[in-house]
Amino acid sequence: MHELIADRASAIDASGIRRIFALAGTLDNPINLSIGQPDFPVPAEVRAAASDAIEQGHNGYAPTQGHPVLVERICAWLKADLGWSAPPVGTADHDGALTMVTSGTSGALLLAYMALLNPGDECILSDPYFVSYPHLATMCGAKAVLADTYPDFKLTAARVEPLITDKTKFVLLNTPSNPAGVTLTQQECNELRELCVSRGVLLISDEIYDEFVFSDGLTESCAQDPSIKRLATPARIAGASDDVLLIRGFGKTYGCTGWRLGYASGPRAVIDEMSKLQQYTFVCAPAPLQIGAAACFDADMRSTVADYETRRNMVIDKLGSVTNIATPSGAFYAFIEVPERLGMSGTQFAEKLVESNVLVIPGSAFSARDTHFRISFATDPKKLAAGLDIIADAMK
Ligand code: PMP
C-alpha cells in the first residue's frame, strides 16, 4: 500500500509528539505538563446556547462564511477591538476587508496556506513554531523557511528581513506564541508589518491566544474603549485590515477546543479565495456550535486568565533561578532551556522526567534545535507545583 501514499503525507514526520503521548499512556497518573488544552469548563451560558441550538433544530449546514448569529458578533468585535470594518464574505456594496468563520484556527490556517502557496513557494515561520505550521507548507508542496528566534522567541523584522526572497508569500506571526507564550511590543508589530508591506508579502497573525494575555502583555488600547488594555498586534495599526490576515479562535479561550471554531479576517482577495476553498473542503463550521460560540462574546474570562497568570508566576518563581526562561506574557506555555551544564538535549531531559512521572514536550517537536522543552500550565495548580519541584530538582 505504501506506494500509493502521496508525498505530502509521507513527507510528514509526527514522531516527536507521538512519542510523548505514547509514553503518557504507559504511566500511572502522570503529572502531565504536555497538554495544550485548557483545564476549565466551557462557560455555562455558552454551553446552554449550543444545546438550545441543537434542541431547536439548528442542525443543518450554515452558510460557508459563517452562521449570521456568530459572524456578525465577530465583525462587531473586530470593529470594537481593532477598529476594523470587515463584514462577512458576500456582503454587497463593500470593497474592503472581509471576515469568515472557520473550522477551528487550524481550518483557517490550512485554507490560508492553500490559498497562498504554490509548489516551490516559501513562507517564513518563527523557530520555535506551532507544530502544524511547517507541515502545512509541506502539504502544499511549499517550503517553510525558519527564522531562528532564540533566546527571546520574538519574530522581529530584523530576523525576518534576510529570509525574504522572490518566492516568499507570507510571514506567519503567532502572538502570544505556542510554545513560548511570548508577545511582541506594538513597535515590533509595526516594524514587521512595514517590512511585509514594503516587500509585498502577506503578514498572517495567528492570535488564537489573544484573550489569554497576562497583565504584562496587555499594553495597547482597545479601539473603542481606550481604558481597556489589549494585546499588541499588527492588526491594530490603521489600515492593517487591507494587508494583515488575522486568524483567531474560540477553543483555547473558552475551553471548547473540540468544537472546532475559529475565524479569519483581512484582505478581500485572500478571504474570498479561502471561502471558496472552504466551500469544497470543510463546507462550514459546525452550525449549532457557532450559535453557542456567539455567547462567548458575553462571557467574562478575566478570573480564569488571572488564575493562569498566577500559574505563570509559579513557573517563573520556581524555575527562573535555575535556568533560562523567556517570560510568557500569554497562552499557557513556557519554553524552558535545559541548563547547558547538564549536557542533555531537550529529548533526553524529557525522557529523564518521565522516570519521575512528569510529562513535558521536547523542544525538537517545535524547533530545528533540541535544547529546550515545553511545559503547559493548563493543569491543576497542585500538580503543577509538584511537577515544577521535580523539574527544578532534575536541573540541580
Ligand atoms: N495556532 C496555535 C498557535 C495553536 O497553539 C493551536 C492549537 N494548539 C492552533 C493554532 C490550532 O487551534 P484550533 O484547535 O483552533 O484548530
The residue whose CA has the least distance to atom 5 of ligand 1 is: 178
pLDDT at 81: 98
Give distance in angstroms: CA of 38 to centre of ligand 1.
12
| Cβ partners under 8 Å of residue 13, min gap 6 | none
Crossing angle of helices 287-294/68-82, nearest 10°? Answer: 40
Q: Quote the pTM value.
A: 0.97
What pLDDT band is residue 35 in, cutting at 50, 70 and 90?
Answer: confident
Using a 6 Å cutoff on CB, does residue 363 contact ligand 1? no
pLDDT tens per residue across span 37-58: 888 999 999 999 999 999 999 9
Using a 6 Å cutoff on CB, does residue 121 contact ligand 1? no
Give distance in angstroms: CA of 208 to centre of ligand 1.
6
pLDDT tens per residue across span 59-80: 999 999 999 999 999 999 999 9
Q: How high is the mean pLDDT of the chain?
A: 96
Q: Which domains does the chain have, with CATH numbers?
A: 2-42+301-395 (3.90.1150.10), 44-298 (3.40.640.10)
Specify burial of residue 253 (Cβ count, 10 A radius: 0-12, 13-18, 19+): buried
User: Which of the listed residues 136, 178, 259 should we mutate to test ligand 1's pocket, taking the one with most ligand atoms within 8 A of CB?
Assistant: 178
Q: Output b/e per residue, 181-216; b: 16+ Cβ within 10 A.
A: bbbbebebbbbbbebbbeeebbbbbbbbbbbbbbee
Give distance in angstroms: CA of 76 to centre of ligand 1.
23
pLDDT tens per residue across span 219-276: 999 999 999 999 999 999 999 999 999 999 999 999 999 999 999 999 999 999 999 9
Give distance in angstroms: CA of 219 to centre of ligand 1.
23
pLDDT at 154: 98
Crossing angle of helices 268-279/104-116, nearest 10°? Answer: 110
What pLDDT band is residue 36 in, cutting at 50, 70 and 90?
Answer: confident
